[in-house]
Amino acid sequence: MAQTSLRTCRLELLPAISSALYRAGAHTLASSSPPPPVPKKIPYEASAHGLTWQDPYHWMKNTNDPDFINHLNHENSYAQASMSDTQTLQRTLFSEMKNRMPSKISTPPERWGPWLYYQYIPEGKEYPLLCRRLETEKSGWLQTVFHNVRGGFGKEEILLDWNEIAEKYGYVHVGTCRVSPDHNFLAYTIDTSGDEQFMLQIKDLRNQCIVPRLPVDGVVSLAVLCTKLGSDSTDDAPIFTEGDSGFCVDITSTKDGKFITVNSNSRASSEEDATNPLGGLRRVHKRVPGVQYFLEHHYGFFYILTNYPLSENEECSSGDYYLARCRAEKLYSANWQNIILPGEDISLQDMDIFDGHLVLFVSKKGVPMLCSIDLSINFECKYQMEIENLNPWFFPLPSSSCSIVPGSNHDFMSSVYRAVLSSPVMPDMIVDYDMSRQTFSIVQQEELRGTSDGAGLNSAACELETNEVIDTRNCEDNNYQNSGLQGWKVLSRLYSCERKEVVSHDGVKIPLTILYSRKAWLRDQSPGLLQAYGAYGEVLDKGWCTDRLCLLDRGWVVAFADVRGGGGGDSSWHKFGSGLYKRNSIHDLTSCGKYLVNEGYVCKDKLCAIGYSAGCLLVGAAINMYPKLFCAAILKVPFLDICNTMLDPSLPLTKLDYEEFGNPQIQSQFEYIRSYSPYDNIPSGVCHPSVLVTASFHDARQNHILCFLLFINTWTFILKTNTTGGHFGEGGRYSQCEETAYDYAFLMKICGD
């Protein structure tokens, strides 16, 4: 994961916490390395649908077994010995990453009511602080706070300090962090062991004390209680209970604060309820498999983002999202009218709403875009409309390769929308879009030091005043880019970012983003690293990462494959890479790997792959199908033994994942899953690439990682296990650099750099 950056430091987005567990495998392990540890085998016979197989490492499911813990310790010792010859390289890489890191990481404040909220990481610290101040001055405030000059302008309130929690428990993962609408309370959930059993705490911001009748341990999203803070627990009134463990529950309020909504959702379906909590919930629409609903309220009207079929002949699972609008009193009748469709080649992804504007997140041919619609426009019509009929203003973006992350944008009355823009060659940039004036201002761009030519982004030629506003109303093509932003792509003179379309096995074109140094890259000779995810409809993060420069400046190519199963296009892109179409995403990955080699971007014998979590399923399956395609692979907190995992309904995510990967309790789906499962398809007598694997002792999502790796003794691998972290790893910005330096050293060792 990328180091802590502007994208990950906002009110509801927490710092990226990367995993610190590895199992490294090297093609050429140090000759002085001890022999790899060999675990015991206990006969165990597993069966399903009349098929029987042996699983001699099934005993490792019991993580409390002393033999299991002892074996992990031996594996860690073996990993340390195997990578001992890279210690100097690791220190060099870490030093480079640390030197490029800004000494201070902060976010410009976001106004919400009378308060200005912001985050910053104190110098020398790993984690951020969430802070606020009363808006007592109008001029100079944003710039003053942004530059971390926090004295002499009123009292700063520290709402939450991640560093204190980490120091107390040794590990911290903050799940949710929300300020109450009246600004008097902060609710947050923390995981202090890595097992994702969160503890809910509520802090009274008026006296900085934790509300005494809380915390609540082992938080799961299955029930909603209405309680009055400070009252006895006997006053708690249950207002919603979810009986299906395949669903999660989220409670929030509409942005205008008029309604409380409870959304019960699975991977593909949802049910929304809304009302005054003490008056009881009312169901907005019945639950339909494959259909989701999301609600906002605006002056007597509800706006519903949904993919409910517009016609009886349309499949629920294939419908794209559209926006429906209805009067509040007609919400429960399901007689929604004023349908707003995205338009040709456009898919609707999300929405936000303000007093005077509706903001829509759209994707056009896989390119993310944002637009605002003036809500003074007359919607009173009975027919379907398209976005273009509503005179939208498309927010100017610097390039089609730009990723967009929304700011907190809590203030319903604001006419300014904040977003964080980033690309592989553009450091994160915070931009305010004034929807009333249709102008934008660049508030802040991430500081960068130590680029390959020593220039960095601190020179006066690259600075832009924070109050500069560029008018886009007269731009010829402000739907896609604006010349005023092009000057910020300063690193494009150092690094090339190309977007290609690779033809997969069935003729579908797969977007492939290729990044390399214009100075260091050598055709047909450079090593390369290919990354993919391809699950849950999530878009692969291709944003700016300074750590990546360590590879690029040494001539490496870094490529991102937007395979099916992930996000980017319409809903079909996810559908045809999941369930009974999962093999498509594997073929997409291997097609992109072959393209990099065949087109001369990467040397034939120096192509590597990396996967995170569910993305490791692709990499593991690809290695089995084409063992000579990659020379090395990194599998971080991997999901590999899909059959055994999905056959165990006691695991926390199994039922939730039925909609994503299929249900192996059904024979046809079991047979399809088993046909590509990395654990069940190891070819014998084949030379496999070297593999580095991360693992986490407390990771509830990793059930059979060791079983998989120990079963395939034909692979050369190293396992490095963090005995304290979870699926999201541990450590702040410096720990993440250490982890990445270890990963890169492994790759360079294998490729002979």
Q: pLDDT tier at 239 (50, 70, 90 boundaries)?
A: low
pLDDT at 139 over 50: no
Q: State residue 435's pLDDT score.
A: 97
Q: pLDDT tier at 232 (50, 70, 90 boundaries)?
A: low
Q: What is the mean pLDDT of residues 522-549?
A: 94
The residue that leads in pLDDT, 410 or 601, is: 601
CA distance 169 to 160: 15
Q: State residue 700's pLDDT score.
A: 57
The CATH code of domain 234-410 reads 2.130.10.120
Question: Picking from 259-263, 422-426, 544-548, 700-704, which range would have the lowest pLDDT averaged per residue?
Answer: 700-704
The residue that leads in pLDDT, 657 or 596, is: 596
For residue 641, which of 694, 682, 586 has the smallest C-alpha distance? 682
pLDDT at 468 over 60: no
Q: State residue 91's pLDDT score.
A: 97
Q: What is the mean pLDDT of residues 511-538?
A: 95
pLDDT at 580 over 90: yes
Cβ atoms of residues 240 and 273 within 8 Å: yes
Q: State residue 218's pLDDT score.
A: 53
pLDDT at 272 over 80: no
Topology, domain 6-99+493-751: Rossmann fold (3.40.50)
Question: Picking from 109-113, 130-134, 508-512, which range would have the lowest pLDDT averaged per residue?
Answer: 109-113
The residue that leads in pLDDT, 551 or 727, is: 551
The residue that leads in pLDDT, 239 or 480, is: 239
Q: State residue 512's pLDDT score.
A: 96
CA distance 406 to 592: 30
pLDDT at 324 over 80: yes
Question: Picking from 420-429, 482-491, 724-733, which range would have the lowest pLDDT averaged per residue?
Answer: 482-491
Q: What does DSSP say about strands 237-241 and 248-253: parallel, antiparallel, or unpaired?
A: unpaired
pLDDT at 614 over 80: yes
pLDDT at 579 over 50: yes
**pLDDT tens-digit series, residues 364-384:** 877 889 999 999 876 666 667
Helix H or strand E segment including 404: strand 403-406
Quote the Cα angle for 442-466-393, to 5°: 30
Encode 680-718: b = buried (16+ Cβ within 10 Å), e = exposed.
Answer: bebeeeeebbbbbbbbbbbbebbbbbbbbbbbbeebbbb
Which of the 8 DSSP states describes residue 42?
A: -
Average pLDDT, the chain: 78
Q: What is the mean pLDDT of residues 460-468?
A: 31
Strand boundaries in 55-156, DSSP class E:
105-106, 110-112, 115-121, 129-134
Strand boundaries in 222-332, DSSP class E:
223-226, 237-241, 248-253, 260-265, 270-275, 282-283, 293-298, 301-306, 322-327
pLDDT at 710 over 50: no
The residue that leads in pLDDT, 333 or 31, is: 333
Q: Where are the domains of the chain?
A: 6-99+493-751, 114-219, 234-410
Question: Picking from 15-29, 53-67, 608-622, which range would have the lowest pLDDT averaged per residue?
Answer: 15-29
pLDDT at 615 over 70: yes
Q: pLDDT tier at 282 (50, 70, 90 boundaries)?
A: confident
pLDDT at 518 over 70: yes
Question: Picking from 192-196, 336-340, 550-554, 681-685, which range would have the lowest pLDDT averaged per residue?
Answer: 192-196
